[in-house]
Chains A and B, each alone.
Chain A
Amino acid sequence: MAMVAQPNIYDAAEDETMDESELGATEDQEATPEDHSLPVIPGSPPVGSHEGMHDLLTLWVGLSDVQKRTFKALTKEVEVASELVETSTEELSTNFQKLASFSQRQADDLKSIIESASTVVVDDQEITLTDILHVMEGSISTVVEQILHVSKHGMSMAYAMEDLLGNVEKVQARVTDIETVTKQTNLLALNAKIEAMRAGEAGAGFSVVADGVRELSNSINDLSGQIRQEISDVSQSLSDSQGNLKEVTSIDMTENIMAKERIEEIMTCLIERNESFSQTIQNSASNSDNMTRQVSEMITGIQFQDRTSQRLGNILDALKILSEAGEEMKAKTEEQVGEEITPELDREWLNQLINGFHLGEMRERFIMHALYDEEDPTNTEASSSEGNDSSQEDEDDIELF
């Protein structure tokens, strides 16, 4: 005959009062969920009796059984916790690694901005802003040098023309001399003609010569008039050329000076601004570097999961040993008593115990293990999390983390 865990009732009246008090206790559970005290054993056998000892042993075995189931449930709980820690740690690590790689990429981008900010690519050649300034200054210098070159040669030409004009004036004076001589020659020819007329027949030949000389002097006069005209044209052309030379050589260089100064100012401002940009970007890049380093350190810090797993493993081992010890004790007790003891679960006691748990999910699993010896908690977990959403909110503040 198998023993039953439920002990014999010695006093019916007492039992009734117990039921009432237990009912009351159940109703009060919401108010006093912290009550973990063992339920009162209903009735009490006479002290030192064989029956009393037997009942007590049955109770012990029952308790041991409950403990065994509890350990099983706890084992599952610890495994779930370990798994949670592992998954969360992996997720955290992955996210931090992503963060680190983002900030690394940002730093790289910023560095490439710094490198490209101070240069411009023209015809596949990298030119710095300073180079641009030099190129522009060089261009102005070249223009100024050319102006100088033109001016120098222009002035040499101006001098030469001045000399030429002097020579032309001298030629003009000579022409005037020629005209004077021609006038005198003409007068002389006229006198000769008069004298020839006065001489009569004898002077007839002279008269012809005098006419010839007059014609010659008239021709010379015409020629010198032409020369005067041509020389005057040359003189006019020279004057015009001097005017043109003036235009060519007279360049107001104030504008060039101002242009050069303006370019220098603008380039200086550009270079300064560029430097300040570079500095800011540099700071930003080093911040990104720091961020990457910090995140890497954080990733290392997250590796506590290994240690946690070890500790949880220790707990699992301890639970297993305790469970085995209970099993062994039960076997020894049965050997001593000489029969199998089948403890019946004290549901009320268990309910009271389970209600002490705060975590809804854990409670569910625990109930499955303790009461129904459910081996696969995944279904339970799923159904509990789906079905108990509203009740969890009411019962389990802790789960809201």
Chain B
Amino acid sequence: MDYTFTSDGPLLKCKMAGEFTFTDHPIFRDMIDEAVKTGARSIQLDLQEVEYIDSAGLGMFLVANERSGEEGWKFSISNPREKVQKMFTLAKLETIVPIITD
């Protein structure tokens, strides 16, 4: 998994690309740390370029979401592809994390 940041006011967009699985947990954690350090009030993970997510990836989103609650910033996900969206629907992720389509 690779990522790039785009800042838009108080919103920080993390554009993720490739597959997002268990082995990506150090890089994902670093990404969140880095994003939090920018002082952004809201962090959004853009999944337009993400082809596949396994349950570990979902778990990491949930951990990040929990952290956002503890640290007081907004966490959201945007533009999942059809396959990924199906998984979100199955897991009812939208009831926990806001999923936005631009």
The residues of A with any CB-CB pair to B shorter than 8 Å are: 140-141, 144-145, 147-148, 150-156, 158-159, 162, 245-246, 249-254, 256-257, 260
Whether B60 pairs with A246 at a CB distance below 8 angstroms is no
Decide if A156 touches B22 in the complex (CB within 8 Å).
Answer: no
Q: Which of A155, A162, A256, A257 contacts B59 (CB 8 A)?
A: A155
CA distance A305 to B59 in the complex (A): 88
Name A156's closest neighbour in chain B (CB-CB).
Answer: B63
Contact partners of A147 in chain B: CB under 8 A: 55, 91
Whether A251 pairs with B90 at a CB distance below 8 angstroms is: no
Considering the complex, give the chain B residue whose CB is closest to the CB of A249: B56
Beyond A148-B59, A152-B59, A155-B59, whether A256 also contacts B90 by CB under 8 A is yes
B63: which A residues are within 8 A, CB to CB? 152, 155-156, 159
With both chains docked as a complex, state the minimum distance between the C-beta of B91 and any C-beta of chain A, in angstroms.
Answer: 5
Which 6 A-B residue pairs are closest in the complex by CB-CB distance? A151-B59, A155-B59, A251-B55, A249-B56, A152-B62, A151-B55
Least CB distance from B1 to A in Å reads 14
B residues in contact with A257, CB < 8 Å: 86-87, 90
Q: Interface range on chain B: under 10, 10 to 19, 20 to 34, or 35 or more?
A: 20 to 34
Chain A residues with Cβ below 8 Å from B54 are 250-253
Task: State A254–B83 Cα separation when bound (angstroms).
Answer: 8
Q: How far is the CB of A168 from chain B (nearest CB, A)?
A: 15
Do A253 and B56 form a contact, CB below 8 Å, given A155-B63, A156-B63, A162-B29? no
| B37 interface residue per 8 A CB criterion | no
B26, A162: Cβ atoms closer than 8 Å: yes
Q: Can you list 15 A-B contacts with CB-CB less than 8 angstroms, sorted by A residue number?
A: A144-B90, A144-B92, A147-B91, A150-B55, A151-B55, A154-B56, A155-B25, A155-B59, A155-B63, A249-B22, A249-B55, A249-B59, A250-B56, A253-B87, A257-B87
Q: Which residue of A lies closest to B60 (CB)?
A: A155
Contact with A along B11-52 (1 / 0, CB 8 A): 000000000011101100100000000000000000000000
Nearest B residue to A252 via CB reads: B54
Cβ A154 vs Cβ B59 within 8 A: yes
State in angstroms the CA–CA spacing of A272 and B14 once bound together.
Answer: 45
B58 within 8 A of A: yes
Measured CB to CB, the nearest residue on chain A to B23 is A246
Nearest CB on B from A74, distance (A): 93
Given the complex of chains A and B, what is the CA–CA distance between A253 and B91 in angstroms?
Answer: 9
CB distance from A161 to the nearest CB of B (A): 10
**B residues less than 8 Å from A162 (CB atoms):** 25-26, 29
Q: Which of A144, A155, A159, A250 contacts B91 (CB 8 A)?
A: A144
A151 to B87, CA, bound (A): 14
Which of B23, B56, B92 is within 8 Å of A151, CB to CB? B56
Given A158-B25, A159-B63, A250-B22, are A145 and B56 also a contact pair (CB < 8 Å)? no
Residue in A155, A158, A245, A252 whose Cβ sees the most chain B Cβ within 10 Å: A155
User: Considering residues B54, B62, B90, which has the most beta carbons from chain A within 10 angstroms of its beta carbon?
Assistant: B90
- Chain B residues lying within 8 Å of A249, measured Cβ to Cβ, are 22, 55-56, 59
List 5 additional contacts besides A140-B90, A155-B56; criterion CB under 8 Å: A141-B90, A144-B91, A155-B63, A246-B22, A252-B54
Q: How far is the CB of B73 from chain A (nearest CB, A)?
A: 18
Cβ-closest chain A residue relative to B63: A155
Listed residue (B29, B59, B86) with the most chain A CB atoms within 10 angstroms of its CB: B59
In the complex, A143→B39 CA distance in Å?
37
Q: Are A145 and B91 also in contact (CB < 8 A) when A155-B59, A249-B56 are?
A: yes
What chain B residues lie within 8 Å of A154 (beta carbons)? Answer: 56, 59
Of all chain B residues, the one with the shortest Cβ separation from A245 is B22
Question: In the complex the two chains form, what is the Cα distance from A145 to B54 in whole Å?
Answer: 14
C-alpha spacing A276/B14, complex, angstroms: 52
Task: Report A-chain residues with C-beta under 8 Å of the C-beta of B92.
Answer: 141, 144-145
Q: Is the CB of B26 within 8 A of A151?
A: no
Task: List, in ascending order, chain A residues with CB within 8 A of B90's CB.
Answer: 140-141, 144, 253, 256-257, 260
- The residues in B between 43 and 85 inclusive whose CB is less than 8 angstroms from any CB of A are 54-56, 58-60, 62-63, 66, 83
Chain A residues with Cβ below 8 Å from B87 are: 253-254, 257
Contact B58 A159 (CB under 8 A): no
A140 to B87, CA, bound (A): 12
Assembled-state Cα–Cα distance A155/B67 (Å): 13
**Cα distance, A245 to B63, chains bound together (Å):** 15
Q: Which residues of B contact A159 (CB under 8 A)?
A: 25, 29, 63
Inter-subunit contact B22/A158 (CB<8 Å): yes
